[in-house]
Every structure is written in structure tokens, then in C-alpha cells.
Amino acid sequence: MPYKIYNEEEGTCLQCGTTIRGRRDKQFCSLSCKNAFHNGVLMTKRQQRAKIVATLTGNYHILEALLKEGKTGAGLDELFELGFDPAYVTEHRRGKFRHDEYACFDIWYFRTDTRIFNVRRIVSVPR
Ligand SMILES: [Zn+2]
């Protein structure tokens, strides 16, 4: 029967690589492999999210320290040494004039290729 032949193709378990027989769309050899695979996907997503939050938190502490020192700007080289990563921002606005504006939560700043300036806290009221 063509139907049966179609349904009995071999596949490979996405988790352990074992050859599996059965339905063509079967992806796992067992329920435990299926669970392990999906737990791994969730773990990876969780770790990526935690890394982004940690980087933003690090940037925020660096910007906050500048403000506490009464500074409104700093060279990017100096900031890189402190661990600042300008790729991580929570908001971005195209510059009305020359420079784009970035935010790390409630702290905003302008950025050039070599420095940030006009660092300030803007507290917006949540809608
Ligand atoms: Zn498996």
C-alpha cells in the first residue's frame, strides 16, 4: 500500500541523533528526547535574554556613575574599558541635527564615533 510506505520513512531524532521510524513528521525518538530538546531551546532563549539584560544593566550603572560624578559626557574608549557596550540601548532617535540620541532606560545621551555627550536622566510618566 503506497500510504504505508510513505509513512514509514526513516528520520533522525533532533535531540540524540538516533534513527527513528514511523510517521514522516516524527522528530524525536521518545518523549524524553522531545522534552530535552524543547527545554534546551527554552534555556538558550532564557540565557540570551539574561545576557542582554545584564549588558543593559552594566551600561546603566556606568551611565549612572557618570551622572553621580557630575559628568555629562565621556570618551567611548574610556567607557569601553569600563565594559560599556553601545550596541545595547533601549531607545534610539534619529538626530534632528547631527547626532543620534540613545537611551538606556531613563538615561539619554547623544553619541558620536568617539564619545557620548549630553548625558541626562529623563523620567517619563508611564501611560
Ligand atoms: Zn532521541
C-alpha distances out from residue 78 to 13, 27, 69, 81, Å = 49, 50, 15, 5
Question: 126 lies in a domain?
Answer: no
Question: 127 lies in a domain?
Answer: no
Question: 14 lies in a domain?
Answer: yes
Residues spanned by the domain of 96: 2-121
Structurally, how many domains does the chain consist of? Answer: 1
Calculate how far, in angstroms, residue 47's C-alpha sits from the geometric centre of ligand 1. 24
Q: What tens digit of pLDDT does each residue of 82-97 get?
A: 999 999 999 999 877 7
Question: 112 lies in a domain?
Answer: yes
Q: What tens digit of pLDDT does each residue of 44-85 get?
A: 999 999 999 999 999 999 999 999 999 999 999 999 999 999
- Percentage of the chain beyond pLDDT 70 is 91
Calculate how far, in angstroms, residue 32's C-alpha sits from the geometric centre of ligand 1. 8
Calculate how far, in angstroms, residue 27's C-alpha sits from the geometric centre of ligand 1. 9
